[in-house]
């Protein structure tokens, strides 16, 4: 690209999948970087569905202060969705519709901010130009609390969930320790992670040593062994007086079945899980007779912007800026990924990686990150995880004592096409 005045066309940004405490920081990075280059930005309302429905938002109607406030505002400012595009052959009508919308609004760059399935969608859309004779450049932008995207060292959104999980484990354990003599003996915290145990592993940062919580971490990468689990709980309670357990929602038995299978599936075809913590709590009560409590932070863990990691917030903003740079440089079918160059001190940079190496791939916990008994994390895991939760990025607070989160106008762009039925 030469000068901003010669840049033609608009950039479309969309958010996908489960939102995070810092995905809006990425949105701010995108919009501010594009504004600096004179490129107008539209946002799709509710992810790729907004593009299909021609429900677009003109971010140019937002003030500089409103966009800046996105850096400390959780949730998805433009709405997200769980919707996976089929192949071009299976549903050509959807792709033709996208091209119609892009053409009608002179959209030349599309940035899709999401996880594994979103990277697949971004890859498919990146192939539209040649297949349908339209000049469109597509950049996948990383986001997922699960930290399971391939290639990138870590995923924006994960560091903040990791910090929340470690802090919550530490604080709840202090509570349990205080009451264990006459009350709760076993506390079970269930965290997100359908196939990869990164969030559960982060709980291990709360303490170190056999008697420090969490005493047991249960990972989806290891088949659940009921006998070994109960023996570990019993031995911990007898030695320490109480026991903190952190379990990934995706825990499976030796047959590969989810312990918490609910029998339903989401829009991406993933199993809906009904709660592994109560299953484990029932085992503890029935087999060991201990009084228990369990907690399911659910959305709280991924929306806790008040406890966000500064490292995570900085990286989220940086990938948004880089995505714009890549798009305007003419790149297509790539994702800005985080590359770690040093653990201590922690150093990182952003580089482009091809989407075909990321789409539909899952990065699970390396075996070297799990202790031999499968109930804890190793020193290698600590070296990897610890830098990701460093630093505080507190949102501003008002006189009412609550965080002051940003709100956008989200002014709709006038539609130019007939309604699309899908």
The catalytic site residues sit at 146
Token pair for 394: 């507190």
| Spatial separation of the C-alpha atoms in residues 213 and 252, rounded to whole Å | 23
3-state secondary structure of 296: coil
Residue 220 CB burial class (10 angstroms; 0-12, 13-18, ≥19)? buried
| Spatial separation of the C-alpha atoms in residues 115 and 119, rounded to whole Å | 6
What letter would DSSP give residue 386? G
Asked whether the beta carbons of 334 and 359 are under 8 A apart, the reply is no
Rounded (10°) CA dihedral 35, 41, 45, 50: -160
Residue 247 to residues 22, 48, 54, 194, 370, Cα–Cα distance (Å): 24, 32, 41, 11, 14
Residue 102 CB burial class (10 angstroms; 0-12, 13-18, ≥19)? buried
Largest CA distance in the chain: 73
| Spatial separation of the C-alpha atoms in residues 197 and 303, rounded to whole Å | 19
Measured in degrees and rounded to the nearest 5, phi and psi for residue 409 equal -75, -35
Tell me the residue ranges of DSSP E strands in 326-414.
334-342, 347-354
Strand partners, 224: none
What letter would DSSP give residue 41? E
Neighbours of 354 (CB within 10 A): 15
Q: Distance from CA of residue 137 to its chain's centroid?
A: 24
Give residues with Cβ within 8 angstroms of 285, minimum separation 6. 291, 292
Asked whether the beta carbons of 242 and 213 are under 8 A apart, the reply is no
Strand partners, 191: 248
Strand partners, 57: 43, 412
């Amino acid at each position: 690209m030469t000068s901003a005045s010669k840049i033609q066309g608009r950039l479309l940004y969309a958010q996908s999948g489960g939102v995070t405490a810092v995905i809006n920081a990425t949105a701010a990075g995108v919009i501010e970087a594009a504004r600096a280059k004179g490129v107008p930005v539209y946002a799709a309302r509710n992810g790729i569905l907004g593009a299909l429905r021609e429900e677009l938002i003109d971010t140019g109607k937002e003030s500089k202060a409103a966009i800046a406030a996105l850096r400390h505002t959780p949730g998805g400012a433009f709405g997200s969705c769980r919707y996976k595009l089929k192949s071009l052959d299976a549903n050509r009508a959807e792709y033709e519709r996208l091209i119609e919308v892009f053409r009608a609004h002179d959209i030349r760059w599309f940035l899709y901010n999401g996880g594994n399935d979103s990277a697949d969608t971004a890859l498919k859309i990146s192939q539209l130009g040649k297949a349908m004779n339209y000049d469109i450049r597509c950049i996948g932008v990383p986001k997922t609390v699960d930290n399971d995207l391939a290639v990138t060292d870590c995923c924006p959104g994960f560091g903040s969930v990791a910090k929340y999980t470690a802090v919550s484990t530490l604080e709840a354990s202090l509570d349990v320790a205080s009451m264990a003599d006459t009350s709760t003996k076993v506390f079970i915290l269930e965290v997100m992670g359908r196939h990869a145990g990164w969030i559960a592993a982060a709980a291990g940062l709360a303490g170190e040593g056999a008697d420090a919580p969490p005493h047991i971490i249960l990972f989806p990468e290891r088949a659940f062994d009921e006998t070994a689990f109960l023996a570990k709980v019993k031995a911990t309670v007898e030695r320490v007086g109480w026991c903190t357990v952190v379990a990934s929602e995706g825990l499976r038995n030796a047959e590969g079945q989810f312990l918490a299978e609910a029998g339903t599936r989401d829009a991406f075809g993933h199993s809906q899980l009904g709660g592994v913590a109560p299953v484990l709590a029932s085992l503890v009560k029935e087999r060991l007779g201990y009084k228990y409590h369990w907690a399911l932070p659910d959305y709280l863990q991924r929306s806790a912007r008040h406890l966000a990691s500064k490292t995570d917030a900085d990286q989220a903003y940086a990938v948004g800026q880089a995505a714009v740079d890549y798009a305007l440089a003419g790149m297509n079918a790539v994702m800005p990924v985080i590359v770690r160059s040093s653990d201590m001190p922690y150093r990182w940079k952003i580089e482009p990686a091809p989407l075909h190496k990321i789409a539909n791939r899952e990065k699970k916990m390396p075996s070297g990150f799990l202790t031999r008994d499968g109930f804890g994390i190793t020193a290698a895991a600590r070296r990897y995880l610890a830098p990701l939760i460093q630093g505080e990025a507190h949102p501003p607070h008002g006189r009412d004592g609550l965080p002051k989160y940003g709100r956008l106008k989200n002014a709709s762009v006038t539609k130019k096409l007939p309604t699309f039925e899908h």
